[in-house]
């Protein structure tokens, strides 16, 4: 990443928190260690975001927004409901001198549409994923980018003997409450996701789906016509 920051400031940033989830590559060969999200980014991100607005719902440590900013995006907005992730991502932003806006909140009644809306691995964390999906579609002016859990996830696979062939059926799997923060888990087959978008939400235009680099997940890209 091309931010103007000293190696010393980055080393202090790296040592300041126990980071969780995303790997964030930093200048001077530094990084925040975590899950490498670059393979998905390479599959679904455009080469440049030239002046476009980008919002990432459930942005974690902001990896995707920092990449979008570096690729010329205009306003970049991250929504994150976890207090610790929010504290960490704002520290990363401030240290880098990035202009990405972060808000400690859920999507809820957010009412400013954006060109690109990112919702990676967040639908399975909310109690009403269909409502969130509706809202994401409404707020997308140009492109919606999703990554979501399918029932091929080990938990469901064990319970229901889920097979690849079932991904062609419109199924939703519903998990229980997870500690510590009461997360309800939903998993969608690609066929279910397509049916919800086309028939329930009434989405028109191009929808592409593919197998994610992340085990048992799918990515989806919708371009508003």
Ligand X SMILES: C[S@@+](CC[C@H](N)C(=O)[O-])C[C@H]1O[C@@H](n2cnc3c(N)ncnc32)[C@H](O)[C@@H]1O
Q: Which residues in this chain contact ligand X in the complex, by CB under 6 A? A: 21-22, 37, 57-58, 60, 79-82, 85, 106-107, 120-122, 125-126, 147
Give whichever of 20 and 169 is closer to ligand X, judged by the CB atom: 20
Q: Cβ closer to ligand X: 46 or 170?
A: 46
C-alpha span between 22 and 24 (Å, rounded): 6
70-75: long-range pairs with CB below 8 Å, 24+: 70/1, 70/2, 71/45, 71/46, 71/47, 72/48, 73/49, 73/116, 74/49, 75/101, 75/114
DSSP state at residue 51: T
Residue number, nearest CB to ligand X: 58
Minimum CB separation of residue 110 from ligand X in Å reads 10
Compute the least distance from the CB of residue 61 to ligand X, in Å. 8
Q: How far is the CB of 6 from ligand X (least distance, A)?
A: 27
Nearer CB in complex with ligand X: 164/181 = 181
Q: Least Å distance between CB 165 and ligand X?
A: 27
Pairing label, strands 114-120, 140-149: parallel
Closer CB to ligand X, 37 or 93, in the complex: 37
* E-state strands within 38-156: 54-57, 76-79, 101-103, 114-120, 140-149
């Amino acid at each position: 990443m091309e931010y103007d920051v000293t190696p010393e400031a980055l080393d202090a940033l790296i040592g300041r928190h126990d980071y969780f989830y995303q790997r964030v590559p930093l200048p001077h060969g530094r990084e925040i260690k975590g899950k490498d999200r670059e393979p998905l980014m390479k599959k679904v991100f455009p080469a440049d975001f030239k002046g476009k607005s980008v919002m990432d719902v459930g942005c974690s440590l902001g990896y995707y927004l920092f990449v979008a900013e570096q690729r010329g995006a205009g306003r970049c907005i991250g929504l994150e409901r976890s207090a610790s992730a929010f504290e960490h991502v704002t520290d990363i932003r401030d240290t880098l001198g990035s202009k990405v806006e972060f808000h400690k909140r859920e999507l809820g009644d957010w009412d400013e549409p954006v060109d690109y809306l990112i919702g990676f691995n967040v639908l399975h964390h909310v109690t009403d994923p269909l409502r969130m999906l509706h809202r994401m579609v409404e707020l997308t002016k140009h492109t919606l980018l999703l990554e979501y859990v399918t029932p091929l996830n080990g938990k469901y696979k064990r319970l229901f003997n889920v097979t690849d062939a079932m991904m062609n059926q419109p199924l939703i799997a519903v998990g229980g409450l997870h500690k510590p923060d009461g997360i309800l888990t939903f998993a969608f087959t690609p066929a279910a996701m397509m049916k919800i978008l086309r028939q329930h939400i009434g989405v028109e235009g191009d929808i592409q789906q593919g197998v994610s680099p992340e085990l048992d997940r799918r990515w989806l890209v919708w371009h508003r016509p």
